[in-house]
């Protein structure tokens, strides 16, 4: 049988499977799948039953519970559920363990990141929880909690897509909607082949859930048609395939934009990683009024080739977070103190003023869909810039055929599984999830993993590779090589390359 490494981590990997080099079928056992693991007492154990809790709160109202991690206990623990509050009325109970937030598995995610997901959810929150006693028993038995979640939700439960459509001068938006017969407030998508909507990630037969911030279940077909006529040159919609919609409805699970995979969004928040130089970080921080009338912390006047400019900072961007903590209610002086306390390095989350206005009009947090500026630069630098570079690349020997893949964790985690030959160093890609970050980054089944976040792992064991992936948080850089090239390289004993090479007019301003 294959050897399964039951390790839960923040990587979003579903399971890590080590395959033996040879498998012999045993007809008495009746099992011919080398990755199956059967336990003798599985049928005798009661199956834990996760519960779905949907929380809806009003403006200014809290959800009415605390989320904690406690010494000597595993998991994210629900505490202090207010009797008669939003959480209490949803069925949340003291001691419950949190498994999912808005359709994202979080049992293996660091506590601050889970708390952040909840804060970004807005006025509606979907939680999947497990009774505390059932959770502890499942952990003691070594039961894979993510398998419980998949069994509870079913296989056909893909995430919705948030798609931004820009009108084509000839074919328009390339989309219209038909009411689903006999079902009020449900609409099916019709597309112009090759039109703007299809290019924006909308698929034929999708169901419309939400349009420009309005839930369509509250709309008549005529009201929806009027909205389409008034939308101008742009429209942002939330859609989901019909089979997944049926699954969500069967479980009475809401379909929320906070669960969505973004497609073609015109604005995204960005994470900038700054490393201090001799003169600091090399930019001004000003408190200014934006064109929309908001007072915001604005980034200005980057030093040429200074730390801020090298990190990708752009003049006029708005500051949203420092080291993952919101600055929405923080004073200018407090921000300056925080930055200066981080003498060596700091991470900013920023967005343009137009981007902030875009998300505000949709009623969404601009922090929902962040991009990592460093990962973007890495992707750009890894792509050949000219035909000349491409020809040079072709002339390189097998040792240079590694591929650099940059991944950002999404609803499917990183969207791949790792495998290994038991008791031997080295790891390979054993499975790539359809539609996940791994597939988008170009990972292929059988690829040999050479580097994780710039560190060579060819001689490392699976458990060590998992730890390196965990340390990277929500972003991951993998150097991989197809198996044929890797074996050829090893035969020629060619060494591998390291791929990763004052106050003014009521405005406050500080040099950082």
List the domains of the chain with CATH numbers.
51-153 (2.30.42.10), 161-263 (2.30.42.10), 270-369 (2.30.42.10), 403-488 (2.30.42.10)
Q: Name every residue whose Cβ is closer than 8 Å to that of residue 372 and which is 6 or more positions away in sequence.
A: 270, 271, 408, 474, 475
* CB of 120 closer than 8 Å to CB of 21: no
3-state secondary structure of 160: coil
Confidence at residue 467, expressed as pLDDT on a 0 to 100 scale: 83
Contact between residue 227 and residue 211 where contact means Cβ atoms under 8 Å apart:
yes
Q: Three-state DSSP class for 189?
A: strand
- DSSP letter (8 states) at residue 398: G
**Helices 132-140, 145-153: crossing angle, 10 deg rounding:** 120
Q: Give me 412's structure tokens.
A: 């499917």
Closest to 351 measured CA to CA, from 270, 422, 277: 270
Rounded CA-CA distance 114/104 in Å is 10
Whether the Cβ atoms of residue 97 and residue 145 lie closer than 8 Å to each other: no
The secondary structure element, H or E, covering residue 215 is strand 214-215
Is the C-alpha dihedral spanning 232, 236, 240, 245 positive or negative? negative
Number of helical H runs and strand E runs in the chain? 15, 30
CA-nearest of 359, 281, 293, 287 to 318 is: 287
**Consecutive 10-residue averages of pLDDT for the chain (512 residues):** 40 34 38 36 65 87 90 90 91 93 87 86 88 91 85 76 92 90 86 91 92 88 87 92 88 86 91 86 86 84 89 92 85 86 85 92 89 64 44 38 79 80 81 78 87 87 84 83 79 39 47 58
Query: What is the residue whose two structure tokens read 């897509």?
Result: 161
Beta bridge partners of 477: 406
C-alpha to C-alpha distance for 225 and 290, rounded to whole angstroms? 34
Q: What are the tokens at 269?
A: 């928040």
Point out which residues pair with 448 in neighbouring strands.
428, 481
Nearest to 368 by CA among 108, 217, 218, 159: 159
What secondary structure letter does DSSP report for 76? P
Instruction: Assign 363 to helix, strand or coil.
Output: coil
CB atoms within 10 A of CB 205: 12
Q: Three-class SS of residue 223? A: helix
């Amino acid at each position: 049988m294959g050897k399964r490494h039951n390790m839960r981590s923040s990587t979003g990997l579903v399971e890590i499977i080590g395959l033996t080099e040879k498998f012999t079928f045993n007809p008495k056992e009746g099992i011919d799948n080398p990755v199956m693991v059967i336990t003798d007492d599985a049928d005798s154990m009661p199956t834990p039953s996760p519960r779905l809790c949907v929380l809806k709160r009003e403006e200014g109202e809290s959800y009415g519970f605390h989320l904690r991690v406690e010494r000597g206990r595993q998991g994210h623990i629900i505490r202090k559920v207010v009797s008669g509050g939003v959480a209490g009325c949803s069925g949340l109970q003291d001691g419950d363990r949190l498994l999912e937030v808005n359709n994202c598995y979080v049992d293996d995610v660091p506590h601050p990141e889970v708390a952040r997901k909840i804060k970004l959810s807005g006025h509606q929150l979907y939680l999947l929880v497990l009774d505390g006693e059932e959770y502890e028993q499942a952990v003691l038995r070594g039961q894979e909690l993510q398998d419980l979640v998949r069994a509870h939700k079913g296989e056909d439960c893909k995430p919705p897509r948030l798609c931004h459509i820009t009108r084509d001068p000839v074919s328009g938006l390339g989309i219209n909607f038909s009411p689903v017969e006999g079902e009020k407030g449900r609409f099916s998508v019709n597309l112009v082949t090759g039109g703007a909507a299809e290019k924006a990630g909308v698929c034929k037969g999708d169901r419309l859930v939400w349009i420009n911030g309005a839930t369509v279940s509250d709309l008549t077909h005529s009201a929806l048609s009027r909205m389409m006529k008034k939308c101008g040159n742009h429209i942002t919609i939330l859609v989901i395939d019909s089979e997944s919609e049926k699954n969500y409805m069967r479980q009475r699970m809401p379909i929320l934009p906070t669960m969505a995979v973004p497609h073609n969004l015109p604005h995204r928040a960005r994470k900038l990683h700054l490393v201090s130089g001799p003169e600091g970080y090399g930019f001004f921080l000003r408190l200014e009024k934006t064109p929309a009338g908001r007072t915001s912390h604005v980034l200005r006047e980057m030093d040429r080739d200074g730390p801020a400019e090298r990190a990708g900072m752009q003049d006029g961007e708005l500051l949203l977070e420092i080291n993952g903590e919101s600055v929405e209610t923080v004073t200018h002086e407090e921000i300056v103190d925080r930055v200066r306390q981080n003498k060596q390095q700091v991470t900013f989350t920023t967005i343009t003023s137009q981007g902030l206005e875009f998300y505000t009009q949709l009623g969404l947090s601009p922090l929902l869909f962040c991009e990592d500026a460093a990962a973007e630069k890495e992707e750009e630098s890894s792509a050949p810039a000219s035909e000349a570079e491409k020809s040079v690349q072709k002339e390189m020997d097998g040792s240079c055929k590694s591929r650099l893949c940059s991944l950002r964790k999404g609803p499917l985690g990183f969207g791949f599984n790792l495998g290994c030959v038991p008791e031997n160093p080295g790891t390979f890609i054993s499975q790539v999830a359809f539609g996940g970050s791994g597939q988008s980054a170009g990972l292929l089944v059988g690829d040999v993993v050479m580097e994780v976040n710039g560190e060579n792992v060819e001689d490392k064991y699976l458990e060590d590779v998992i730890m390196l992936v965990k340390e990277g948080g929500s972003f991951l850089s993998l150097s991989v090589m197809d198996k044929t090239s890797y074996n050829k390289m090893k035969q020629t004993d060619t060494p591998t390359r390291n791929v990763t090479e004052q106050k003014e007019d009521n405005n406050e301003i500080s040099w950082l």
